[in-house]
Amino acid sequence: MATIVENLGKELEELDREYAAGFAGQSRQTRDLDVLDEIIARTSSVLERVDQIPSAAQGPELVRLRETALQNLGLYSQERAAIQRAQEVGPTFEAFSNEATSANLVFGRYARHFAGKDRSTRDLALLGELVEELKQIEKRMTTLLDESNVKEFERDRKVVRDNVAQYQSEIELIENAQKSGTPDQRASILASLANDQFAVYQAHFAGEPRISRRPALLMRIISSLKKIHERMVGYRDGGLDLDFNNKNIKIVEDRLKIYEGELVEIRKVRQATAMPDIMGELGGAANKLFDDYRSAFADKPRAQVDLAKLGVICDKLAEIRRQMSEMSWAEDNEMNAKNLDIVTEQLVMFEGEYEAVVSAQAQARTSAAWGNGSKSPAT
């Protein structure tokens, strides 16, 4: 006999399938709000039935079920508001909303890689890429604003412009931080920066199908390593005789040869493949990341999951989304358009989950500290 947790879980899964079939990747202009209201009401009913169970009887499975119901309810409610607004404003709203979503995803990536981090260890090339993404988003927003003068659009464009200015000022601060300190410290920073580039390659290219890899990302890694190598050699030729720096120069040189050879192979494969076939491969790569997420994070306690792994999944899916988006500008393809909508929705969810995991793990650390005898904050 199925338990109450199993029954409620199946009900949530069925509701999520109904939502995915009727709303995920669909034009908001044509969606039926009454259908979505029914899904929201039934999800709320599941949440209410969970909350009626006494706290003492709520095991970890029920707690995770409640988190899922609450998360889904938030997603459905946000989508309802977006659909309502889209239908009020007209087709321009959906186009502008897509740009706002793209901007928010850039903001999320910046927060994960730069906010509150040691500037001396940050990836300048990545930050430069984020700046360029936002500049392109701002241009497209401006074009849409010229077509339809909606005040809330102007507010969103201003947020994008403000973030561009912030990120550009951050570039200079990072450059200064990476050039400060003693010669030994600067050489250590270069070693750390090189290792980070190796990690980016490992995450995005090692063991992955060449056809779905973005050549420009590998070019960015190669360019960053060449600059690091140039500074390492400069320190050595300037009289800094450190064994680890001398060894690192050779390591970077070896990696550069490998990466440059891989770039040639990726370009060969992609040039020999029709764009629709590349689009199909990108869809497959996205599905693999969805599976990775379900395996490592779905129905798992947020306080116990691997935050770094979730960040890598977000970054890899962002790469897939970027390629799908760029290809959509070059060629109209129904499959790619649908996949882009699905990937965007999932990436928004993953980024939101990343923030929720950060919060849950911070709370868990605080609770553990109090449990170990630490004093709670003064009131």
The predicted-structure confidence for 279-326, as pLDDT tens digits, reads as follows 999 999 999 999 999 999 988 888 899 999 999 999 999 999 999 999
Give the domain extent around 256: 189-271
Q: Do the domain assignments include residue 323?
A: yes
End position of a domain, from candidates 271, 295, 315: 271
Same-domain check for residues 267 and 349: no
* pLDDT of 148: 76
Domain check: are 95 and 167 in the same one?
Answer: yes
Is 287 inside a domain boundary? yes
Give the residue from 180, 203, 238 where a domain finishes.
Answer: 180
Band of pLDDT at residue 233, cut at 50, 70 and 90:
very high
Same domain membership, residue 219 and residue 282: no
Question: Do the domain assignments include residue 376?
Answer: no
d(CA 177, CA 365) in angstroms, rounded, equals: 30
Confirm whether 317 is domain-assigned: yes
Same domain assignment for residues 85 and 96? no
Last residue of a domain, one of 180, 203, 229: 180
- The mean pLDDT of 58-83, rounded to a whole number, is 86
55-59, 207-211, 279-283: least confident range: 55-59
Amino acid 282: pLDDT: 98
In a domain, 201, yes or no: yes
Residue 378 pLDDT grade (very low, low, confident, very high; cuts 50, 70, 90): very low
pLDDT at 104 > cutoff 90: yes
The alpha carbon of 263 is separated from its chain's Cα centroid by a whole number of angstroms, namely 24
Q: How far apart are CA 346 and CA 341, in angstroms?
A: 9
User: What is the model's pLDDT at position 129?
Assistant: 98
Q: Do 12 and 48 belong to one domain?
A: yes
Question: What percentage of the chain carries pLDDT values higher than 70?
Answer: 95
Whole-Å CA distances, 48 to 44, 78, 267, 282: 6, 20, 54, 40
The answer to whether residue 378 is domain-embedded is: no
Residue 375 belongs to a domain:
no
Residue 178 has pLDDT above 50, yes or no: yes
Q: What is the mean pLDDT of the chain?
A: 91
How does DSSP assign 57-105, residue by residue?
G--HHHHHHHHHHHHHHHHHHHHHHHHHHHHHH-HHHHHHHHHHHHHHH
Domain tally, the chain = 4
Helix, strand, or coil (residue 121): helix
Tokens of 377: 């904050």
- The reply to whether 285 and 263 lie within a common domain is no
Count of other CB atoms within 10 angstroms of residue 198: 16
- Considering the domain boundaries, does residue 379 fall inside one? no
pLDDT(186) > 80: yes
For residues 6 and 24, membership in a common domain is answered with yes
- pLDDT score of 371: 65
H-only helix segments in 114-242: 124-147, 151-178, 183-204, 215-237
- Are 134 and 81 in a shared domain? no
